[in-house]
């Protein structure tokens, strides 16, 4: 089967945009060129890759499978070019970092300073997003390292734990919850909450904790996809939230932990990379710095 990487690139653009004309404009190619590329792929696989949907097109089941593999092949090709380029140029290379918001704010600045101090020619790209989003980008090959909450068991990834992160229920210091003789999960349902979006793992864990005790999920009066915003939203209200103790420590003058074992999440923060992925010299050095000095960096940065 003779398949051109260029055809896969064109196919991927059409699949992502759902329109041949828009893909052609994005790539700076003609529509007939993209159409012929799709036709060559369909002939190779003896199956249609797209079907009409309204004014656009969408992938068939075979197209969905090919899109996932095309992304992996593109990532592998890009890595090969980067590896050869780094070797040929003899430079420190480039590193692409994905980070959760806590590590991005408290750990990455000092970590990048250390790396640039050793290799001033290094270039760095940083993407801050939820861990689940970053994990997919890491597996696709568009990121080198993921710093933050560790990934679940995955044979395609390697993770190194650095520090433990504890997420707890938090309220303003004068909140009526502290007047209760005994705090329970059920009693916490007496107040509304400020919570991260349902796509955030900590929110999913909290909802599951209540449901596992036969209780409804906490009522989120305010939902936000910005974790640093949550403390300010509850500081002067009777709303509850679910925050890392590291974040709580920054707002200890106005916020307090609501102690409750059943609503305490313990998780590991660390660094994750692809098991068989290429890491540039810069990425390898950053990984070594994290393994050697990561605990101090996390502990100092997160406890400030």
pLDDT at site 178: 95
Higher pLDDT, 126 or 279: 126
pLDDT of 1 reads 59
For residues 113-118, average pLDDT: 88
Q: Residues 16, 6: contact at Cβ < 8 Å?
A: no
More confident residue, 103 or 219: 219
The DSSP code for 262 is G
Highest mean pLDDT among 79-83, 87-91, 128-132, 190-194: 190-194
Calculate what percentage of the chain has a pLDDT beyond 70: 92
Residues 247, 102: contact at Cβ < 8 Å? Answer: yes
The pLDDT of 133-146, averaged and rounded, is: 88
Residue pair 144/135 in contact (Cβ under 8 Å)? The answer is no
Mean pLDDT of the 83-112 span: 75
Phi, psi (5° rounding) for residue 264? -115, 120
Q: What is the pLDDT of residues 248-276, one digit of tens each?
A: 888 889 999 999 999 999 988 888 998 88
pLDDT given at position 303: 36
Per the prediction, the chain carries an average pLDDT of 85
- 68: Cα separation from own chain's centroid: 18
**So what's the pLDDT on residue 88?**
53
* Residue 209: predicted pLDDT: 95
pLDDT score recorded for residue 127: 94
Provide the pLDDT for residue 85.
65
Q: What is the mean pLDDT of residues 213-230?
A: 87
pLDDT confidence tier of residue 82, bands split at 50, 70 and 90: low
- The pLDDT, as a whole number, for residue 250 is 84
Q: Is the pLDDT of residue 121 over 60?
A: yes
Question: What Å distances lie between residue 130 and 37, 220, 254, CA to CA?
Answer: 35, 19, 26
Q: What is the pLDDT of residue 83?
A: 63
Q: What is the mean pLDDT of residues 111-120?
A: 87
**CB proximity list for 230: less than 8 A, separation 6 or greater:** 194, 195, 196, 224, 241, 243, 247
The residue-averaged pLDDT of 220-246 equals 86
Tell me: pLDDT of 84 over 70.
Answer: no
Q: Which has more confidence, 299 or 36?
A: 36
SS3 2: coil
37-54 pLDDT per residue, tens: 999 999 988 899 998 887
Residue 301 has pLDDT above 50, yes or no: no
User: What pLDDT is recorded for position 282?
Assistant: 84
199 band by pLDDT with thresholds 50, 70 and 90: confident
């Amino acid at each position: 089967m003779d398949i051109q990487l260029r055809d896969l690139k064109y196919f991927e653009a059409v699949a992502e945009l759902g329109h041949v004309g828009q893909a052609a404009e994005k790539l700076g190619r003609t529509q007939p060129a993209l159409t012929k590329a799709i036709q060559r792929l369909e002939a190779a696989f003896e199956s249609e890759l797209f079907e009409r949907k309204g004014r656009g097109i969408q992938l068939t089941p075979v197209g969905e499978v090919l899109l996932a593999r095309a992304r992996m092949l593109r990532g592998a090709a890009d890595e090969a070019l980067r590896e050869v380029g780094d070797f040929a140029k003899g430079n420190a290379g480039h590193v692409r970092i994905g980070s959760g918001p806590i590590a991005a704010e408290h750990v990455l600045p000092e970590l990048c300073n250390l790396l640039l101090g050793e290799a001033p020619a290094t270039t760095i790209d940083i993407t801050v997003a939820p861990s689940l989003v970053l994990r997919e980008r890491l597996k696709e090959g568009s990121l080198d390292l993921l710093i933050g909450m560790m990934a679940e068991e995955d044979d395609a990834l390697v993770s190194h734990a650095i520090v433990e992160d504890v997420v707890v229920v938090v309220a303003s210091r004068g909140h009526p919850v502290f007047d209760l003789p005994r705090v329970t999960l059920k009693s916490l349902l007496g107040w509304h909450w400020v919570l991260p979006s349902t796509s955030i793992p900590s929110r999913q864990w909290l909802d599951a904790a209540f449901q596992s005790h036969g209780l409804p999920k906490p009522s989120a009066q305010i939902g936000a996809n910005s974790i640093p915003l949550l403390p300010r939203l509850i500081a002067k209200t009777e709303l509850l939230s679910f925050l890392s103790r590291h974040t709580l420590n920054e707002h200890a003058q106005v916020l307090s932990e609501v102690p409750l074992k059943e609503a305490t999440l313990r998780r590991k923060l660390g660094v994750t990379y692809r098991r068989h992925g290429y890491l540039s010299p810069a990425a390898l050095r950053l990984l070594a710095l994290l393994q050697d000095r990561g605990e101090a960096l996390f502990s100092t940065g997160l406890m400030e």
